[in-house]
Structure 1
């Protein structure tokens, strides 16, 4: 996945923008430090990149410190030269900035620095979550072996029960293998032998159940096959298409999901693709992108409620096409809402679920299962050298003081080849 940066625009920024375009990394620009703070409240970025000459004043340094404190999961990268090394070293030492790039900028070195910083950022965010998870595990161990508590209520005898529970959710909960096995056992118990004609008589409702759950189990194995093909494929997508080709892909998937939408009387509102990208190209494997579209839309459908509106919006920003899928954020089992910040990175990890509830109503529409959906979305976006993030935003679509879940895909735009 590629990083997404916020740039403080100055007279010197053209050099930086030229390199970011060359390496196909996405970015947005603001004109002053106050705008940076405002943008960070509305949008998610991995880096803030600015020239050290723009943070020499006391007020600028105070704002930089405020940004670092308020948004610790956004790394500040400085661009500097030898004449400003003392200030650069001071900012790095005080942790106001994470790293620096020396000007004149070398594009290869810029890519190396951003990739290395991005790796650190992902590791940092995951370690924060893992540390919290370890604390929860420690509390769980204490609960299990606390004999005083065992007098008041029963606890699982060991931690492995939790692992078995997760396996049950992924493989056996709901229709499919588990129910198929149960129905087959009923079939064997309830079928009656007609010895004279050497045939078994099976009640129609039981055979219907077998047929229904056979199809569900078959769908599960088909999804395993599709998932395996995506997991095994590490090739970067080289095919380039017009961004306008995305619209029919979305329309096809929305039509396919009409039955899924009807379950809770939901609606998907699809915007048009900006005309300003017509003469540009994006990396696009239509088959793989269809997988992504269905998974993203189905996630929005499953985690929305009756009558909800889901929005798919296209924007042309700087050097990339942005696709936002927006649906209302609701309360989770742990009393958080939507996608808590601590989960924003971890939600793309295999088998991770915010909710352990499996809604069987949507099983037949799924291509990816077992907690692998967003993991494979990220994998496919990596192959397109694109970026995908998911986070909460303030609702601007419903005129209510609420939160929405926003899944954002950013695809670098490429110039038409002559």
Structure 2
């Protein structure tokens, strides 16, 4: 989706500067010089952002912004004004009538940051709506989609053991780690030369470095197995109740800590704010365990997304539950399914199960859990929090091609 902006500014010269910046950002825009052309443009086109010069605001500012909110609730407004009249425009920011403010003369760097941030927020709002719509459709098909008892009976159950053994083999013996280490040791035993004068074996430098590299990878796998075993053996339920803000802070901390991992594919993560209505509410939360949950889910989303993709994290308040949703683009799998659908919706929580047979070692150093145990351990931790986890694919109605997205939901009951 290419951002389409409307500029409402009676000055052609200042508008031309902004239009140039917009063109350099590869966005599109239109310019309205008076109130009549402004409202006409809004009626005829769909804009995501309005660049509003403060002197263009009619004297009846409250009714002007009220009309905008009523007819174009998704439109984000960025004000431009001389800093000398800051007090006149600050009221609109304080009243949440406008999203942001850029002082004049408009600098390219500040303009770019403000517009990109506004567009991210615009997409987040659209995502929230499309998730609600997609889930409504999904829930109407719930019996068909989530009939897991049926999927575990008859011929289907006979295939699960084979699936798990296959995925276990991939997890443990493909990529760097135990499988490669065993291959290198085999080469070492066959290629090392014995020096009788010193009673030592000599090995090639490159071979030694390969052994060292894969020893570290294998040790990381063993450390991960130790952590995994600790979680598996832990049968205690979480009894600590903390404010929802804690979960929000954990999420943002993990996003920040994974900046290096995001750079592997030039990806980014956009996080919404917490919804209103959470005052005097608490939820079960063990911070150390929840950090592991959020990290695992974000790394999974990165792995199964592609170059330059954006991953969205949206918080919802539904009845007496706080939901954290992670959305990333859905792509076709080797079995021609798209995203996580059908039998995969339950099988992905089974130990060692992977939808893809390709092991991506690039993320190994960021992972706490390894070899296909991630979602199984995440579900175990969520159960300890008396919370729920679901994953499915929904249709994204934001883009014209109606691409699908994987939607993973963590649902926490609230204690008022």
TM-score bucket of the superposed structures, by smaller chain: 0.5 to 0.7
Alignment RMSD: 2.9
Instruction: Check conservation: 1:126, 1:345, Cα contact below 8 A.
Output: no
| Corresponding residue for residue 204 of structure 2 | 203
The secondary structure found in structure 1 opposite 2:389 is strand
Q: For residues 132 and 255 of structure 2, what CA distance do their matches in structure 1 show?
A: 31
More displaced stretch, 294-303 vs 257-266: 257-266
Deviations 1:251-299 (A, max 9, x none): 3322332332222221111222235324321110011101111111111
State whether structure 2 residue 361 is matched by structure 1 residue 360: yes
Task: Give the distance between the partners of 2:229 and 2:309, measured in 1 at CA.
Answer: 33
Q: TM-score, normalised by structure 2?
A: 0.62
The Cα of 1:305 is off from its aligned counterpart by: 1.0
Closer, same or farther in 2 for the Cα pair 1:202/1:346, shift >3 Å? closer
CA distance in 2, matches of 1:163, 1:239: 35
Matches of 1:136 and 1:218 in 2, distance apart?
A: 32
CA contact (8 A) 1:244 1:278 kept: no
Q: Which aligned pairs between 1:149-168 and structure 2 lie closer than 5 A? A: 165-168=166-169
2:4 corresponds to: none
TM-score normalised over the length of structure 1: 0.62
User: Cα deviation per residue 1:140-165 (whole Å; 9 max; x = unaligned)?
Assistant: xxxxxxxxxxxxxxxxxxx97x7764
1:42 pairs, out of 99, 112, 135, with 135
Alignment of 1:30-69 (within 5 A): 42-43=135-136
Mapped partners of 2:328, 2:264: distance in 1:
16
CA distance change for structure 1 residues 215 and 135 in 2, over 3 Å: closer, same or farther?
closer
Alpha carbons of structure 1 residues 209 and 398: separation in structure 2 relative to 1, 3 Å: farther
Tell me how far apart the structure 2 counterparts of residues 136 and 237 of structure 1 sit (CA, whole Å): 35
SS in 1 for 2:263: helix
Gaps of 5+ in 2: 1-130
Query: Which residue matches 1:72?
Result: 143
The verdict on how the C-alpha distance between 1:135 and 1:194 changes in structure 2, with shifts beyond 3 A counting, is closer
Is 1:243 the equivalent of 2:244?
Answer: yes
Distance (whole Å) between structure 2 residues aligned to residue 164 and residue 231 of structure 1: 20
After TM superposition, list the pairs within 5 Å mapping 1:373-412 onto structure 2: 373-396=374-397, 398=399, 400-412=401-413
Question: SS of the counterpart of 1:348?
Answer: coil
Higher RCO, Cα 8 Å, sep 6+: 1
> How far apart, CA to CA, are the structure 2 residues paired with 1:310 and 1:174?
26
Asked if 2 retains the 8 angstrom alpha-carbon contact of 1:126 and 1:346, the reply is: no
Equivalent pair of 1:322/1:410 in contact (CA under 8 Å)? yes
Q: Is it true that 1:281 corresponds to 2:304 in the alignment?
A: no
Where structure 1 has 5 or more consecutive residues not aligned to the other structure, the ranges are 1-37, 47-66, 75-121, 138-158
Provide the residue aligned with 1:151 in structure 2. none
Is 1:127 aligned to residue 128 of structure 2? no
CA apart distance, 1:341: 3.0
Q: Check whether the contact 1:346–1:352 (CA below 8 A) recurs between aligned residues.
A: yes
Change (3 A) 1:40 1:327: closer
**Counterparts in 2 of 1:193 and 1:346: CA distance versus 1, 3 Å:** closer
C-alpha distance in 1, partners of 2:352/2:137? Answer: 24
Query: 2:134·2:395 contact (CA, 8 Å) conserved in 1?
Result: no
Q: Secondary structure at the match of 1:344?
A: helix
CA distance, structure 2, for counterparts of residue 135 and residue 40 of structure 1? 36
Match of 2:37 in 1: none
Q: Match for residue 413 of structure 1? A: 414
